[in-house]
Structure 1
Amino acid sequence: MTVNVPMLPLLAGFGVLLALALMWRAGRRRAKAAAEAARTGVRLVSLAGRVLLGGAVMLGVQWLVVTHPDNTTLLVGVLAVPDLFAAYVLTKALTVSAIDAPVRRRGGQR
């Protein structure tokens, strides 16, 4: 028994399989890029949240001490110490603290 398959349908079938494989790879790359972009956005929002929370805590303590100015040393300390925290937070926020490794296109991790 001999099977006679015409060349055109055979080539069309291989073409369809190749197109599906290429579409699958492109979708995978796009998904990786979207995940990396989401991770970067989350880092920024997380840092902003920590800065705002720290600022709110410092403001609350300062307000409490300023409304009761009985002790001058405590007043100066409460106004000076948050400046150190603010300087630290600003320095950390404006300094690159993580180096993201470049994504390898072929071969994965080495």
Structure 2
Amino acid sequence: MAKNYVVTLIVLLFFAFAPKAFAQEIAQPQIENLSIYPNPVNSNRQFIFITSKHNLVKQIEFFNAIGKKIYATTLTGKELNISRLATGVYFLKITENNITETRKLVIK
């Protein structure tokens, strides 16, 4: 009888700690110090600023709330013209030096 409890306890402990022991974490590279400001932004502003540690050329893709790509551009500086965008929530796919990150932008 005690043998069954020991086996059950070992099996329970295995399943409790197995996911942590076998999980493989793959570190995704990130764009260092990526920042979008102001965010949220008022609809009367025409520009936002996208900066990073190295401020290299960035490819920016805009997606609406349902995931449809609505605009793409290349950013060589820090200032991005958003005057063509209506109020709403957008997702920005930002690629710099072959590293991609996604950020949310809210236009009020």
Under a length normalisation based on structure 2, what TM-score does the superposition of the two structures give? 0.33
Indicate the structure with greater strand content. Answer: 2
Structure of higher RCO (CA pairs closer than 8 Å, 6+ residues apart): 2
The structure having more radius of gyration, on CA atoms, is 1
Indicate the structure with greater helix content. Answer: 1
Under a length normalisation based on structure 1, what TM-score does the superposition of the two structures give? 0.32
